[in-house]
Amino acid sequence: MPPHPNIVSLKGTYEDDNGVHLVMELCEGGELFDRIIAKGHYTERAAAGVTKTIVEVIQMCHKHGVMHRDLKPENFLFANKKETGALKAIDFGLSVFFKLGSEQGVAQAIIKYVVDFKRDPWPKKLGHQIADADLQILMGVGDVDKDGFLNYGEFVPISIHLRKMGNDDHLKDAFAFFDKNQSGYIEVEELREALADEDEANNEEVISAIIHDVDTDKDGKISFEEFTTMMKTGTDWRKASRQYSRERYNNLSLKLFQDASLDLGNEER
């Protein structure tokens, strides 16, 4: 990186028998984070000035093909303790280079940043593919205050649940919730017990539909392998019968969500 008034400078490098030592510019003003905490809040004008500096630093980095990747208040230091002290970006330990390219065919050549999203650092290989219907169920459970949004405290338990449901140990716990007699199968009577709190006339039709949909070897019961396939491939109770109301499917899914695999209070602390 070329010299820039808002990027910490490297003064020199020295090597001894134990390692290479980097001597950086001294910034006595402390972190932007600490100054924000000390102030309590910034005026709109002051915040705009800080934001402008940060954007200029990002622009400078990108102009030279550098992606910082760790921008946060802790990684900006003030040169001195004065209110007008220069704000400087530090800690390029996670930064990477990326290639610059050009795009033609418009009124004038436009420079663009070409980032290969198939290569590091962009493949964020985390996440889950969730059917819309399942997402609605999770929202119904997680959105405790029913404001239509998930705050941090509501989102974390759902994330933990999804991660657990991809783990065979927790699938075993979920399976055991239904397999009350520990026979290794979810049987008709156990499904009947799971639906016992729902006073509906067509419970038997629903049970038959679930067995028909999930019981791939047609032995009249659901093995752990069949249950695992159902959970991992997205087949769910709702697909088992068109006659089963959405509300009642939600109730059954919530029962699994709340009682089977989610002992979050104790395990995730």
* 213, 240 Cβ separation under 8 angstroms: yes
Q: Give the lowest-confidence range in 32-36, 91-95, 154-158, 241-245.
A: 241-245
**142 vs 231: CA distance, rounded Å:** 19
Q: Average pLDDT in the 82-92 region?
A: 93
pLDDT at 216 (0 to 100) = 86
H or E segment at 249?
helix 246-259
- Residue of 211, 207, 197 lying closest to 255 (CA atoms): 197
Q: What number is the average pLDDT over the span 82-99? A: 91
Distance CA 56, CA 86 (A): 13
- For 131-137, the CB contacts below 8 A with 24+ separation are 131/234, 131/236, 133/236, 133/238, 134/234, 134/236, 134/253, 137/250, 137/253, 137/254, 137/257
Length of the chain: 269
* Mean pLDDT of the chain, nearest integer: 75
Per-residue model confidence (pLDDT) at position 239: 44
Confidence of residue 263 (pLDDT cuts 50, 70, 90): very low
Percent of the chain with pLDDT strictly greater than 90: 30
70 belongs to the catalytic site: yes
Range picked from 31-40, 226-235, 240-249 for highest mean pLDDT: 31-40
Catalytic residue among 70, 134, 143, 173: 70
**Mean pLDDT, range 115-144, rounded to an integer:** 65
Task: Kindly report, residue by residue over 94-125, the tens digit of the pLDDT.
Answer: 999 887 654 433 333 464 556 666 666 655 65
Tell me the per-residue pLDDT of 16-46, one tens digit each, with 9 for 90 and over: 998 899 999 999 999 999 999 998 888 999 9
Q: What is the pLDDT of residue 128?
A: 53
Packing angle between helix 132-142 and helix 246-259, nearest 10 degrees?
A: 60
Question: Rounded CA gap, 154 and 77, in Å?
Answer: 34
Which residues touch 179 (CB under 8 Å, ≥6 apart)?
185, 186, 190
Q: Tell me the backbone φ, ψ of residue 112, rounded to 5 degrees.
A: -130, 160
**pLDDT score at 225:** 87
